[in-house]
Copies of this chain bind each other. A is one copy, B any other.
Amino acid sequence: KLLKIAVIPGDGIGLEVMPYGVRCLEAAAKVFGLSLEFEHFDFASCDYYEKHGDMLPSDWKETLLKFDAIYFGAVGMPDQVPDHVSLWGSLLKFRREFDQYINLRPCRLMPGVKSPLANKKPGDIDFWVVRENTEGEYSSIGGKIFEGTDRETVVQETVMTRVGVDRVLRYAFNLAQSRPKKKLTSATKSNGISITMPYWDSRVKEMSSSYSDVSVEKYHIDILTAHFVQRPEIFDVVVGSNLFGDIMSDLGPACTGTIGIAPSGNLNPEGKFPSLFEPVHGSAPDIFGKGIANPIGMIWAGQMMLEHFGFSEAAAAVLKSIEIVLGRSDLEVMTADMGGKGNTQTLGEAVEKEILAF
């Protein structure tokens, strides 16, 4: 089986970590005899925008539809292009138009990585965030009235559909069912946000009757973020709206030491459209150009891609290689975000070498 991968490094440190992501995938392909085909694209970047006045070429959809997967770095350089323009012109467009309705993100405390939380060891934090990825608070509908006056008012809609809510919940329930703890936590804010959030709750309640073996808890997002910090070990699968999933999947990885290692799969589970795999971190303009970005998030995203397309053995080897390198805690190799003195290259090559040794 040939896997066709569109490589889009994007902006900032996306450009720096992508080469190591690709090298690790190539290493896995070599060791496990996989057929991976890569094609690189320079669109979906602010440089491309400056040259062409748009984030994407007009035929982007036909172009990318030829691929099984998009391997994506990061996008956004707010000094060049406003963030909402660059993001709605690229990543958020992919998610929406390729119906990547599941955003799946592991939060796992890895060996060798120090949690900012006191007294946590590997195994204590190990859960998945399942995020709705196409609707909700990221609606792009709304506008401004009475501009420039004292009555100036802006509105933006949050939109939830039964189809959209039910399919992400079903995915999350199934995932919870496949895990030993079989526990699902739903994040809402039904006391404050009085229409959309109680609707989400009602869909959770309805669906839970078909999953009697899954225990369901719901929390308001405010206190849920407190629990992430105070007792992360209680979570197994956490599901939330586009915005709440976004917040939880930065906070969760932060509790596991660094968001630099966290990966993310933007999935169209039916495979009708390409799925997209990216690190959770962004383009990080503040450290761009220094070569010190953590490449693990990018590499782990590649690992999620292998797993998603059924290359389980190769996926397991890549994950193991990441764990071995991190577990060694070699400060000469580890990047600054994990307290090390190494850089993108030292860490990326260390993982590549481990994979090749399989």
Answer yes or no: A158 CB below 8 A from chain B CBs.
yes
B88 and A194 within 8 A (CB): yes
Query: How big is chain A's contact interface, by range?
Result: 35 or more
A82 B156 Cβ-Cβ under 8 A: no
Residues of chain B with a CB closer than 8 A to A115's CB: 118
* Interface presence of A79 (CB below 8 A): no
Assembly stoichiometry (copies): 2
Taking CB atoms and an 8 Å cut-off, the chain A residues in 284-333 that contact chain B are none
B230 pairs with A254, CB closer than 8 A = yes
Closest B-chain residue to A191, C-beta based?
B83
A195 to chain B, nearest CB (A): 4
- Which of A35-43, A55-63, A244-252 binds B? A244-252
**Contacts A118-B118, A161-B152 given: A76-B196 contact, CB under 8 Å?**
no
With A251-B226, A254-B230, A282-B223 known to touch, is A195 a contact of B155 (CB < 8 Å)? yes
User: Across the interface, which residues of B come within 8 angstroms of A117, CB to CB?
Assistant: 116-118, 229
List chain B residues, Cβ under 8 A from A247.
Answer: 221-222, 225, 247
Q: Separation in Å of the A344 CB from the closest CB of chain B? A: 20
28 A–B contacts from the bound complex (CB under 8 Å): A82-B190, A83-B190, A84-B197, A116-B230, A117-B117, A117-B229, A138-B192, A138-B194, A142-B157, A142-B195, A144-B195, A150-B163, A151-B161, A154-B160, A154-B161, A155-B157, A156-B193, A157-B158, A158-B158, A189-B243, A222-B249, A226-B250, A226-B259, A229-B229, A229-B251, A229-B255, A247-B247, A251-B251
Chain A residues near B (Cβ < 8 Å): 76, 82-84, 86-88, 92, 114-119, 137-138, 140, 142-144, 149-163, 189-199, 221-223, 225-227, 229-230, 242-243, 246-247, 249-251, 253-255, 259, 282
